[in-house]
Structure 1
Amino acid sequence: MTEAPAQAPTPVVHPPLPLSQAVAYMGAAVVLALAQGLGQGFVAANIPPIAGDLGITTTQASWLMAAYMIPRASLPLLLIKIRTQYGLRRFAELGIIAYVAVAFASVWITDFRSAVVVQALSGAAAAPLSTLAFMYMLEPLAPEWKMRLGLPAAMAVMMAGPTLARVVSPALIGDGGLTGIHLTALGLAMVSLMLVFRLPLRPVPHMKVIQPLDFVSFLLIGFGFAGLTIGFVMGPIHYWTDAPWVGLLLAASVASLAMAVAVELNRAAPLLDIRWLASPAMLHLTATLFLFRLILSEQSAGAPRMFQTLGVAPAQMTGLFAVIVGASLLGGLACVAWMRPNRVGALHLVALLLIAAGAFMDAQATIDTRPAQMIASQALIGFAGMLFLPPAMMAGLIQALARGPQYLLSFVIVFISTQSLGGVLGSGLFTTLINHRQAAHYATLTEQLATADAPTAQAIAARAAALAAQMPDAAARGAQAAAQIAQDAAAQAYVMAYNDAYLLTALIALGAAFVLVLHLLRDRMVLRLTARVQADKTQPDATP
């Protein structure tokens, strides 16, 4: 029995809502986006407190992040088809009810196993929230404003959520453990539930689009994404060569994805249109999104972890993260003002130059650097992040809709996958680079700290003298002073490793900007030549 092609229904264009209702729907989009973003950010920002609360190691607690990200990366494969077949309202209501149920269950977590299960369910329940946030932001707007206002506004709030979690987490934790965080997530989920039922989305036509082979492709792609997520979360922690299972898992993931491609290429109604995704335009867009997600890891996996290594408490970093949130929102406003289809390349060039400038500023860090010294550089990177993603998504949506509504699913999967997997892969590669460079710098520093070296001996003597009032024994003071200098050397090695990573990020951003300039110049030359040829063809022949 052959598989019948399933065409997506033609999109329905609803008239814009009155102003009061439009504000309510956009407010609901903000709440939904924050519920999803804060839920993800609370896990990433509080791995050590979570480990302490559950009585486990931070290595074990890292599995919670992997458990959350696996369904976030793979579940959107089916969500659009489920929404198309069963309707927006049912999709919204069931999705938000599942999210509230999981948020309620998270309050009662008592052990590691239940925490892993709940985090996996949280990632699955949070996946529809991203879609709902987009829908509620676009729902009340006229068609001409959906791309220009709705898209950057939704993305600004969604991108700000994980960083905002680092701003509010210290106040929520306080002396009461993680209860405040769980109750906050539950409260946002219940408010979201009320808004979804109080402000229903307008219906769109239903259509049977789910095919049996969709589940086969989903399982293969889901396993591949899950393996990549686990591998790049746990690989840097266990270190790649010390854990053979990481390599086996990555190999199995690649094999699973290859099998999924083979299945999809031989289907009449594929879940993903592989041939279109392999076209030059889509490969270029995919590579652009993936590269940008990788270099943005400088902000998510760079400064926070460096300051944690230097002993800076989370409460001392709230000001820095608040500035990053503000810069991201300003980037969204800039997109509303300047984003047009013909300006995508220019906006991307500005974003890359801002990232390069911010990363280069960060590369000057020292052991005495504190969050206040990185406010300007991190604000530039936060602003650049929002200046890049909405135009990229707009360009992809235009390409997909120009081919037909059925191509929308393939593009959305590419976008979500590059952002979810790109973030995980970028963080894993960034952490691996840090670990490698830290070991190299520490080996060099320890060679320089030989006790026979005169400056080192003087430093140990000075430290020992400072400890005289606390430790009367001279040998103990000398040992303690040497240990302190060794600790300082380890911290200095970490800072030097982060500086190497920041500098590499700046160089990659500059390289990408150079390639983009060449691409823009080529496009301009092609347009001029095309216009000249057309003009020559339309001119009348002047010969008698």
Structure 2
Amino acid sequence: MSTYGPREWHPDERPLFPGSPSTPAHSTERRIAYFCVGSLVTVTAGLGNALVSANLFNLQGPLGAYFTEINWLPTAYVMTNASMNLLLVKFRQQFGLRAFTEFFMALYALLTVAHLFVGGLGSAIAVRAAHGIAGAAMSTLGLFYTLQAFDRPNRFRGIIASLGVAQLPLPIAYVFSSDLLRFGEWRGLYLFELGITVVAMACVFALKLPPGDRIKAFRPMDFLTFALFAPGVALLAVTLTFGRLLWWRDTAWIGVALAASIVLIVASFYVEHTRRNPLLNLRWMANGSICRLALGLVLVRIVLAEQSIGAVGMMRALGLNNDQLTTLFTVILLATVLGLIVAAATTNIQHLLAPQGIGLAIMSLGAFIASFANSLTRPEEMYLSQGMLGFGGAMFLGPLVVSLIGRVIAEPANLVSFAVLFSATQNMGSLVGSSLLGTFQVWREKYHSSILVEHLSALDPQVAARIARGGAAFGRALADPAGRAHQGLAALSAATAREANILAYNDVFLLIAAIAALHAAWVFGRAAWEKYVEPPALPAPIPQPDTRPEQVTD
């Protein structure tokens, strides 16, 4: 076999794309092993960022950072992770799966070790950015391993299962991270991740992926596109994160970053539009059906942001921390596992819209149930609503991506475009969700606060009695009546702010319920249209990809 070029494959073993593994028949025991390794690698890929995202408040002290500064850690990860598939797909195609696997597994382990030697915020941000690069490779590797566990007719179920497993790291982080922080603060989190990474690396080296084809993939202009697109996406991620935290119109550099990101991304698209063999197929990405699928991916990330922005934010507004949320996220974890099992077992490749609509309807109902919270609500009252969101998310995401991958299999040249589209919608969709919901919550909190304060008057006997009771709590420490009255007024103000926040979070839950309900209505409407008005053609058999070396021209 030549350095670059196809090899002869049995029809049932042929890789779907250059750079992907072949698919030989495996024994049942080996399929189970591939599934277990794939799940372990997938969880490992997302766990590092999940541990940071779940513990931003707790990491401020060890790293000596304010809250706005500590948000650079998850943002740095997204800044690099969202655009790396521009190069990683072609890296696999040109250098082969073995080099890809061994290099990025070793890199991920080294970067996890580097976290143990972080001494301040600056070095932590640098390590998190590098982790985003390796994490993008690990996510793909986990998918490849999981797919080996399924035969060709059921391979779409492997995609659903892998995407469901990819949703598990965040609830896992909430379940275990409190004990890890008590063990060793920042280093406790990454000692845990290092252990899992070492186990995953040992499993990957012991159970290798089947070989695939290699082709000469890189072209010189690819690197120009990446040099424009990657910083553009990075600046957009910074804008989405800090626009909400520093407020959109109060900080000049946020506007500058947004303008620069638009210029860079548009410039990268222009370069791709003028190439004979583009890295990104903009015409394919601008297709109406692809745009609808991409919008669906973004919307589901917005809805799932409810768990981190809505549920967790409200619990923290009520004075709870991660220790009190362990059982809640255990419920979410179990519900998500149940959702991916149901989706993988019941989804029909010819009817992919049904599980999407059902998943969205369940998420809408869960968010609506959560909207009845009050200041006495505790995690126990949110088990049902948050469990429904986890279950519905697993039901929705897999079938949606399967429908998108089907279009890529039919046109293998669009593999890079698909990888970038999926990565960008997942990463940037999460930031859009956090930014949108966080901004909406602040806006509604100000509204509710103004309404509540408007009805508070010291001339009202009930208000006066409330101030007096609040001040009486300080009677032993303050002999001055005026001082006690001041403390009573401060206690009343804090209670008013808390109630305004709870009302605002209820509005956030209602917004999420409305988004999911409208999306579900559209999906069911689309399914009815295809069934009764415009029946779709039966799926064509999976074509065999053309693995002939491409001409290196631009």
Fold match (TM-score > 0.5): yes
The one-letter amino acid of 2:129's match is A
Does 2:331 match 1:330?
Answer: no
**1:156 Cα deviation after fit:** 1.8
Q: Distance in 2 between matches of 1:310 and 1:10?
A: 50
Sort the Cα spacing of 1:51 and 1:146 in 2 relative to 1 into closer, same or farther, 3 A: same
Q: Distance in 1 between matches of 2:165 and 2:408?
A: 24
**1:470 Cα deviation after fit:** 5.0
Cα deviations by residue, 1:284-307 (Å, 9 ceiling, x for unpaired): 111111122222211222111111
Partner of 2:549: none
Partner of 1:534: none
Q: Conserved in 2, the CA contact under 8 Å of 1:17 and 1:141? A: no
Name the SS for the 1:523 alignment partner: helix
Unaligned runs of 5+ in 2: 1-5, 7-15, 539-554
The one-letter amino acid of 1:108's match is F
Does 2:205 match 1:197?
Answer: yes
**1:176 Cα deviation after fit:** 3.4
Sort the Cα spacing of 1:133 and 1:10 in 2 relative to 1 into closer, same or farther, 3 A: closer
Partner of 2:503: 496
Partner of 1:535: none
| RMSD of aligned Cα (Å) | 2.0
Partner of 1:541: none
Name the SS for the 1:17 alignment partner: coil
Partner of 1:118: 127
Partner of 1:44: 53
Q: Conserved in 2, the CA contact under 8 Å of 1:264 and 1:272? A: yes
2:156 to 144, 147, 150: 147
Q: Distance in 2 between matches of 1:13 and 1:103?
A: 30
The one-letter amino acid of 1:449's match is L
Partner of 1:94: 103
Q: Distance in 2 between matches of 1:32 and 1:11?
A: 17
Partner of 1:445: 452
Partner of 2:93: 84
Does 2:259 match 1:251?
Answer: yes
Q: Distance in 2 between matches of 1:395 and 1:195?
A: 31
Partner of 1:321: 329
Does 2:533 match 1:526?
Answer: yes
Partner of 2:144: 135
Q: Conserved in 2, the CA contact under 8 Å of 1:37 and 1:161? A: yes
Q: Distance in 1 between matches of 2:70 and 2:506?
A: 27
Name the SS for the 1:480 alignment partner: helix
Sort the Cα spacing of 1:432 and 1:530 in 2 relative to 1 into closer, same or farther, 3 A: closer
2:38 to 29, 51, 56: 29
Q: Distance in 2 between matches of 1:440 and 1:501?
A: 13
Q: Distance in 2 between matches of 1:462 and 1:112?
A: 44
Q: Distance in 2 between matches of 1:300 and 1:464?
A: 35
2:175 to 167, 170, 195: 167
2:380 to 354, 368, 372: 372
Unaligned runs of 5+ in 1: 1-5, 532-544
Q: Conserved in 1, the CA contact under 8 Å of 2:22 and 2:212? A: no
1:188 to 187, 190, 196: 196
The one-letter amino acid of 1:49's match is N
Question: Higher helix proportion, which one?
Answer: 1
Q: Distance in 2 between matches of 1:102 and 1:292?
A: 30
1:17 to 26, 47, 50: 26
1:210 to 213, 218, 238: 218
Q: Conserved in 1, the CA contact under 8 Å of 2:20 and 2:92? A: no
**1:452 Cα deviation after fit:** 2.0
Does 2:429 match 1:414?
Answer: no
Partner of 1:398: 406
Q: Distance in 2 between matches of 1:476 and 1:93?
A: 67
Q: Distance in 2 between matches of 1:225 and 1:11?
A: 26
Q: Conserved in 1, the CA contact under 8 Å of 2:236 and 2:261? A: yes
Q: Distance in 2 between matches of 1:529 and 1:54?
A: 56
Q: Conserved in 2, the CA contact under 8 Å of 1:9 and 1:207? A: yes
Sort the Cα spacing of 1:20 and 1:518 in 2 relative to 1 into closer, same or farther, 3 A: closer
**1:386 Cα deviation after fit:** 0.5
Name the SS for the 1:241 alignment partner: coil
**1:36 Cα deviation after fit:** 1.5
Partner of 1:65: 74
2:65 to 26, 32, 56: 56
Q: Conserved in 2, the CA contact under 8 Å of 1:8 and 1:209? A: no
Cα deviations by residue, 1:4-30 (Å, 9 ceiling, x for unpaired): xx9964977432222222222222112
User: Taking structure 2 as the reference length, what is the TM-score of the superposition?
Assistant: 0.91
Sort the Cα spacing of 1:132 and 1:530 in 2 relative to 1 into closer, same or farther, 3 A: closer
**1:446 Cα deviation after fit:** 2.1
Q: Distance in 2 between matches of 1:529 and 1:50?
A: 52
Name the SS for the 1:343 alignment partner: coil
Sort the Cα spacing of 1:530 and 1:347 in 2 relative to 1 into closer, same or farther, 3 A: closer
Partner of 1:350: 358
**1:252 Cα deviation after fit:** 1.3
Sort the Cα spacing of 1:248 and 1:517 in 2 relative to 1 into closer, same or farther, 3 A: same
Q: Distance in 2 between matches of 1:77 and 1:486?
A: 51
Aligned residue pairs, count = 524
User: Taking structure 1 as the reference length, what is the TM-score of the superposition?
Assistant: 0.93
**1:283 Cα deviation after fit:** 1.3
Cα deviations by residue, 1:307-365 (Å, 9 ceiling, x for unpaired): 11211021100111111111111111011221122222111111111111111111111
Name the SS for the 1:368 alignment partner: coil
Tell me whether 155-164 or 231-240 shows the greater mean CA deviation.
Answer: 155-164
Q: Distance in 2 between matches of 1:32 and 1:353?
A: 31
Cα deviations by residue, 1:71-113 (Å, 9 ceiling, x for unpaired): 1111111111100110001100000110111111100111111
The one-letter amino acid of 1:320's match is L
Sort the Cα spacing of 1:187 and 1:498 in 2 relative to 1 into closer, same or farther, 3 A: same
Partner of 1:277: 285
Sort the Cα spacing of 1:54 and 1:251 in 2 relative to 1 into closer, same or farther, 3 A: same
Q: Distance in 2 between matches of 1:113 and 1:238?
A: 20
**1:407 Cα deviation after fit:** 1.9
Name the SS for the 2:125 alignment partner: helix
Sort the Cα spacing of 1:396 and 1:184 in 2 relative to 1 into closer, same or farther, 3 A: same
Name the SS for the 2:514 alignment partner: helix
Partner of 1:542: none
